[in-house]
Amino acid sequence: MISLSAGAVSEIKRLIQKENKPDVGLRIGVRAGGCSGMSYMLGFDSPKAEDAVEDHQGIKILVDPQSAGYLSGVELDYVDGLQGKGFTFKNPNATRGCGCGESFSV
């Protein structure tokens, strides 16, 4: 469903260790909002009964049923360059994105 780049895996593991929360997972979701209609959500959370849970190199990825269809095939990357650093999404389902890169539509 969702893939993680090596950079994303490294940064997520660093953040989990920094937060000292080894039992949490990374929740990836989609919500209504932004210029193009939908935006991504990222955060640490505990699994809920209805979540799809995937393991990526020891990282639990949590996805709620409403977000799953929008996230199929998505790659989460972490970049650290001249333009700044942060997580980026490569979503093959997105038909367009906004100019600021914060939202998308399908």
d(CA 37, CA 21): 32
> How far is the C-alpha of 106 from the C-alpha of 97, rounded, in Å?
9
Per-residue CA distances from 41 to 19, 38, 81 (Å): 18, 10, 22
The tens-digit pLDDT sequence of the chain (106 residues) is: 799 999 999 999 999 999 888 789 999 998 876 555 678 899 999 999 999 999 999 999 999 999 998 898 999 999 988 778 999 888 877 765 555 555 445 5
Is residue 40 within 8 A of residue 106, CB to CB? The reply is no
Instruction: Show the tokens assigned to 12.
Output: 């997520």
Question: What pLDDT was estimated at residue 40?
Answer: 86
In the chain, the domains with their CATH numbers are 3-92 (2.60.300.12)
Q: Residue 1 has what pLDDT?
A: 79
